[in-house]
Amino acid sequence: MAKIVGGITTSHIPAIGKAIAEKDFESHYWKAFFDSYPPVREWLDEVKPDVAVVIYNDHGLNFFLNAMPTFAIGAAQEYRNEDEGWGIPEIPPFPGDPKLSWHIIESLMAEEFDLTTCQEMKVDHGFTVPMQLMWPERRSPEVRTIPVCVNTVQHPVPSPKRCYDMGKAMGRAIRSYGEDVKVVIIGTGGLSHQLEGERAGFLNQEFDEYCMEKIVEDPVALLDYSIPDLVRLAGSQGVELVLWLMMRGALSDKVNLLHKKYTIPISNTAAGLLLLENLD
Ligand code: DHB
Ligand code: FE
């Protein structure tokens, strides 16, 4: 049977992709940030997940404001990246796992989560930057990927509770898959940030630290926030916290915190890194 081995949260911002492309790992600005990733890579090297479910939001590459699904999932053989205009080189396609994708889709639909299913899907920085941070060397055979895309861009955005509940259903779906595969769940984005308007540059360290603590021990404490609460407390793009909550929902109630780092500021955001071992 499939096993969920752990969950990871990470920032996904394009500036990281640019720093990677320029190998700018040691400068004063980036050193502390990049130095926080080796423990996560060592764990991945040791545990060797076969599949990564990557929960992110598309920022306008595959979906745009003309047609914005609340929840979309990839069911393709591979996922291509394209130029988004951030000055990051395009990176080679990522392999998919359509059989596991369809199993998750069928299980989630049976639990009344109505998804947009994508047999073609371009993946933007929300997906590619976390993949580059986790697996900087793309050795063969590569980890197979399942992109799960949540609308955090155009309101109404799904609530923390809805995303956590879908994560729970996704966890049940993966655990009921008959093949012996190890799966890691990656929740991307966050933490507090706002890119536009009067509050552009808004950060809230106190709230971020509260979220990083609660998401490990007591994620249910975060489920009563509404989306307007999150906009107020974490900024308009801080609602990406729902992506972390979906990841957390897929794990066991008790998890083992293996690594934690908070770096502020990184571009306009606070970057939170967590590595959680699943205790199933
Ligand atoms: C930034 C943050 C994001 O979440 C994003 O998707 C793009 C850019 C930033 O802070 O630069
Ligand atoms: Fe983002």
Taking the CA of residue 190 as reference, the ligand 1 atom at the shortest distance is 4
On whether the CB atoms of residues 1 and 183 are closer than 8 A, the answer is no
* Cα 257 to Cα 214: distance, rounded to the nearest angstrom: 12
Distance from the alpha carbon of residue 280 to the mean position of ligand 2, in angstroms: 30
CA distance 97 to 276: 23
If you measure from the C-alpha of residue 195 to the centroid of ligand 2, how many angstroms do you get, rounded to a whole number?
A: 9
Give the pLDDT score at 85. 92
Q: What is the pLDDT of residue 79?
A: 98
Q: What is the pLDDT of residue 140?
A: 85
**Ligand 1: residues within 6 Å at CB?**
13-15, 59, 189, 193, 195, 237, 267-269
For 36, the domain range is 3-278
Choice among 12, 59, 125, 155 that is catalytic: 125
Locate the ligand 1 atom nearest the alpha carbon of residue 268 and give its number. Answer: 10
Nearest CA owner, ligand 1 atom 8: 13
Q: 215 is written with which tokens? A: 């998401």
CATH number of the domain enclosing 256: 3.40.830.10
Q: What is the mean pLDDT of the chain?
A: 97
- 139: pLDDT confidence band, cut at 50, 70 and 90? confident
Find the mean pLDDT for residues 159-180: 98
- On whether the CB atoms of residues 104 and 173 are closer than 8 A, the answer is yes
SS3 of the chain: CCEEEEEEEECCCHHHHHHHHCCCCCCCCCHHHHHCCHHHHHHHHHHCCCEEEEEECCCCCCCECCECCCEEEECCCEEECCCCCCCCCCCCCEEECHHHHHHHHHHHHHCCCCCEEECCCECCHHHHHHHHHHCCCCCCCCCEEEEEEECCCCCCCCCHHHHHHHHHHHHHHHHCCCCCCEEEEEEECCCCCCCCCCCCCCCCHHHHHHHHHHHHHCHHHHCCCCHHHHHHHHCCCHHHHHHHHHHHHHCCCCEEEEEEEEEEEECCEEEEEEEEEECC
Nearest CA to ligand 1 atom 2: 13
pTM: 0.98
**Ion ligand 2, residues whose Cβ is below 5 A away:** 189
- Residue type for position 103: H
Answer yes or no: are the C-beta atoms of 212 and 191 closer than 8 Å: yes
Distance between CA 62 and CA 124 in Å, rounded? 8
Report the sign of the C-alpha dihedral through residues 105, 110, 113, 114, in that order. Answer: positive
- The residue-averaged pLDDT of 135-164 equals 96
- Two tokens, residue 11: 């920032």
Is 193 a residue of the active site? Answer: yes
Instruction: Give me ligand 1 centre to Cα 188, in Å.
Output: 11
**8 Å CB contact between 244 and 9:** yes
Q: Which residues pair with 92 in a beta bridge?
A: none
User: Using one digit for the tens of pLDDT, what is the confidence trace for 53-71?
Assistant: 999 999 999 999 999 999 9
Would you place residue 95 in the very low, low, confident or very high pLDDT band (cuts 50, 70, 90)?
Answer: very high
If you measure from the C-alpha of residue 140 to the centroid of ligand 1, how many angstroms do you get, rounded to a whole number? 30
State mean pLDDT over 85-92. 91
| Atom in ligand 1 nearest the alpha carbon of residue 57 | 6
Domain count, the chain: 1
- Residue found by looking up tokens 């906009």 in the block: 231
Annotated catalytic residue 125: yes
